Amino acid sequence: MYNFGKVGFDPGHHAGANVGPGTYREGDVMLQLGLMLQKAYGVFLTRTTGSNITLSERSKLAANAGVNTLISLHTNAPEAAAGVIVFYSVRHPGDKQIAEYIGGEIARAIGLRFRGAATKPSTGNPQTDYFGIIRNPVQMGIKHPFIVEHGSHWEMAVNTEDKLAKIVGTYGRILQLGQPDQTPDPTTDNGPGKPPAKIVEIQGYVDILNKAVPQIIGEPQKWVEKAADDTDIYWLIRKTAAYIQAHKP
C-alpha cells in the first residue's frame, strides 16, 4: 500500500469554466466533487468557491496546509478525449505506479476506459512539467501531485450525480481517507496549552531573520502574526530564512 500522507484536492478551473454538453461546466462539477470529498472526509481543498485562483496560489495553499498528495480534479475535452487519464510529474517517475492505481480504480468505478498514466514535459525544458498544477507543487515540496481527468465532459455529463458519488467512495477507499477532523488544522489545533505548529514553524524562520538582519525585522512578533495570516508573507519569510541558512559564512 502506498503512503499518501496528507491528501488534498484541487477542484480545477473556476465557476462556469469549460463548457460541455447542455448545462455541463467542468469548473462547476469539479467544485461539486471537491466539496463532496471535503464533506465526506474533511480533506483540504484549494478552492471552495467559484473563484479563479492562480495555479501557483493553489499550490502554495496546499503546501501551507501540509498536503503531501495533491489531486487536481478535471474532466477532459474534446469529446474524442474519452476515458480516464492521470498525469504525474516528470520529476517523480516513481509516481507512475500510483497514477496507474488511481486511474484504474476510478475508471472501473464509473465504467469508463482507463487510458493510462502519463507525463507531459514542458517543451522548453523536458526536465520540468508542462502543467502548472504539477510543476508548482513539485517546486514547493509536495511529494505526489496528480491531474486526474475523470473522463470527458460528455461522459461525466451522463448520470453525473451517480458518477460523483462513486468517485468520492473510490477516493476514500484507495487513498485511505479517514473521517472529518482526522488531521488537525495546524494553524488552530496543536493540543491544549501549546502554540499551534504553524506559529512555531514561522517563529523559527523569523528567529533566523532576526539574528541576521535585526534592523530590518524590527518587531519579530509582528512578522509572525502577518505570516500566519498571509501566504505570500509566509513564503517570503520561509524562503529568506532558507537563503540565509544556505549562505551562512
Residues found near Zn ion in the complex (CB under 5 A): 12, 74
Written as one string, the DSSP assignment of the chain is -----SEEEEE-S-TT-SB-STT-BHHHHHHHHHHHHHHHH--EES-SSS----HHHHHHHHHHTT-SEEEEEEEE-STTS-SEEEE--TT-TTHHHHHHHHHHHHHHHHT--EEEEE--B-SS-TTSBSSHHHHHHHHTT-SEEEEEEEEEHHHHTSSHHHHHHHHHHHHHHHTT--STTSSPPTTT-SSTTS--HHHHHHHHHHHHHHHH-HHHH-SHHHHHHHHHH-HHHHHHHHHHHHHHHHT--
Instruction: Quote the least distance from Cβ 97 to Zn ion, whole Å.
Output: 24
Instruction: Quote the least distance from Cβ 63 to Zn ion, whole Å.
Output: 21
| Nearest residue relative to Zn ion (C-beta) | 74
Q: Kindly tell me which of 164 and 241 has the beta carbon lying closer to Zn ion.
A: 164
Q: Kindly tell me which of 74 and 144 has the beta carbon lying closer to Zn ion.
A: 74
Q: Kindly tell me which of 29 and 208 has the beta carbon lying closer to Zn ion.
A: 29
Q: Kindly tell me which of 77 and 212 has the beta carbon lying closer to Zn ion.
A: 77
Instruction: Quote the least distance from Cβ 114 to Zn ion, whole Å.
Output: 18
Instruction: Quote the least distance from Cβ 179 to Zn ion, whole Å.
Output: 29
Residue 237's closest CA among 66, 213, 67? 213
Instruction: Quote the least distance from Cβ 162 to Zn ion, whole Å.
Output: 21
Instruction: Quote the least distance from Cβ 167 to Zn ion, whole Å.
Output: 15
Q: Kindly tell me which of 88 and 223 has the beta carbon lying closer to Zn ion.
A: 88
- Cα–Cα distance for residue pair 80/156, rounded to 1 Å: 13
Question: Residue 119: how many CB atoms within 10 A of its CB?
Answer: 19
Question: Residue 85: how many CB atoms within 10 A of its CB?
Answer: 22
Q: Kindly tell me which of 148 and 208 has the beta carbon lying closer to Zn ion.
A: 148
Instruction: Quote the least distance from Cβ 246 to Zn ion, whole Å.
Output: 37
CA dihedral sign of residues 196, 198, 201, 207: negative
Q: Kindly tell me which of 6 and 115 has the beta carbon lying closer to Zn ion.
A: 115
